[in-house]
Chain A
Amino acid sequence: MTENVVILGGGTGGTLTANRLRKQFSRGELAITVVDQDREHVYQPGLLFLPFGLAHGEDLIRPRHRQLKKGIDFVESDIDRVDVDGHRVVLAGGRELPYDVLVIATGARLVPDETDGLTGPGWMEKVFTFYDLPGATGLEQALRDFQGGRIVVNVVDMPIKCPVAPLEFCFLADWYFHERGIRDRVQLTLVTPLDAAFTKPRAASMLGGMLEDKGVELVTEFNTGEVDGSAGKLVGFDEREVPFDLAVVIPVHSGAEYVGRSPGLGDALDFVETDPHTLQSKVAPEIFAIGDAANLPASKAGSVSHFEGEVLVENITRFLRGEPLDASFDGHANCFIETGFDKALLIDFNYEQEPVEGHYPGPVGLPLLKESRLNHLGKLMFQWFYWHSLLPGRDIPGVGADMPRAGKHID
């Protein structure tokens, strides 16, 4: 009998899961349907480079359905809700998709409206985000026109996608204004709700030191209550104020709205309640989640979706065969941090192990938590790897889902 797998979201996690499943099961065994609200797959890590003229919008987009292997159905539609008890998805137009296994891969959604004033006066004029394509494109022009003054980069609240991206933005802005010869006329400030530059202590102290070296001011434990575009200031809930001429804001993130309309599926922020090791949802055994949509204590990053993919497909296979799930995800994340001037850092970590120094993936490899040109090339290579290896669901020889310990300087 043919069983139905429905995958909600055709971004990083949804695409790689569909392709991995297609390789594993024949069409007679498994019908695979991917649902997405639009047809354009954006390479999101490229959005960081766009404001600095280092990438172009059209080069970051490819047709969604073309990233899916033959024998995978693609449906373009918004989603109304998941009928958990009825084992079916109700699409926005009323069409229903029954499933034997459901994979939620609808990522994280930017919610700028949740912050007072953010989308008010000045939005897309002196207040931007680079977290989506229109924002990053608008910001490119604004940076080009910028002749001097205060730029603040503000993370409103965690969790956010790619938590190192705001830091990378600061490093690249430092480089960019150096290149333009006006760095001395630009004040850069990173304003974060965290108590340090990053969430993990060892990397936070290293990255905090780099901000200082590059003359980027760091304002910590700032909870943004309002972005006042007309007056040009961030106002904290504790009434502290940070003035700006140009604000680069990372809005709060939530899960997809249909998750909230599906009782029991999501948490208060509409992220799917998920077992951190098996990736099975807490609400029903046949529902799984991958990527940014899951409420795991892991980074919301493409590399994480990649490592999860291997475990997820193994567990779906076991589930379909009626076997107990035992494949286990360890929270493995691997992120290049662009630091400007053609250099980058690399961090590699999981639920338990914070980023430390050493080499990846083994004693011989890319340097960890250390600036190098090699890592910068790695960051650039990631785009090729994304389209040609990660999305098609290929494993990379020598790089497994579990975080490697060899090569790391672990106390």
Chain B
Amino acid sequence: MTTATIAGSQVELNDEGFFEDPEQWTEDMVPELAANEDIHELDDKHWQVIRFMRQEYFANGTGPTVRALGKTSGVSVKELYQLFPKGPAKIAARIAGIPKPKGCI
């Protein structure tokens, strides 16, 4: 576990860079978290996915897999990879401040 300062606040991250406590996350951290993942411009679709990831996490206790995301978030799997080229479920989970989705091993 490491402590990082994101948008001026201290947060705890695990060894793979996922939030230990999703409650420490705030929306104003998103640009900086995204930049850490090499995503420098955020459009509405990015936000749609990030908000959806959090909603799913709080409803089900885990973030969705890419395939489930493609079926339920309103953004297709192809687009998801364009938005988060290095792996939508993992990268979006890091930016959304939730633990690593259980389905993506």
Contact = CB atoms under 8 A, between A and B. Distances in A.
A252 interface: yes
B85 A238 contact: yes
B77 interface: yes
A157 B65 CA distance: 10
A297 interface: yes
Interface residues of B, number: 16
Contact of A158 (B64, B78, B103): B103
Interface range on chain A (Cβ under 8 Å from partner): 10 to 19
A221 B103 CA distance: 13
A237 B81 contact: yes
Interface in A137-159: 157-159
A40 interface: no
B4 to A, nearest CB: 24
A225 interface: yes
Contacts of B68: 267-269
Given A158-B103, A195-B105, A223-B66, A269 B81 contact: no
A24 interface: no
A199 interface: yes
A194 interface: yes
Nearest to B68: A268
B72 interface: yes
Output the residue of B64, B77, B86, B105 with the most chain A CB within 10 A.
B105
Interface string A215-243: 00000010101000000000001100000
A158 B105 contact: yes
Nearest to B67: A157
Interface in B49-77: 64-68, 71-72, 77
Contacts of A225: 77-78, 81
A252 B77 CA distance: 13
Contacts of A297: 102
A269 B71 contact: yes
Contact of A268 (B71, B86, B105): B71
B27 to A, nearest CB: 25
Contact of B64 (A195, A199, A237, A268): A268
Contacts of B85: 238
A331 to B, nearest CB: 14
Interface string B64-100: 1111100110000110010001110000000000000
Interface in A116-166: 157-159
Output the residue of A157, A268, A269 with the most chain B CB within 10 A.
A268
A237 B79 CA distance: 10
A159 B103 CA distance: 8
Nearest to B56: A268
23 contacts: A157-B65, A157-B66, A157-B67, A194-B105, A195-B105, A199-B105, A221-B87, A223-B66, A223-B81, A223-B87, A225-B77, A225-B78, A237-B77, A237-B81, A238-B85, A238-B86, A268-B64, A268-B67, A268-B71, A268-B72, A269-B67, A269-B68, A269-B71
Given A223-B66, A238-B81, 6 more contacts: A158-B65, A159-B103, A194-B105, A221-B87, A238-B86, A268-B64
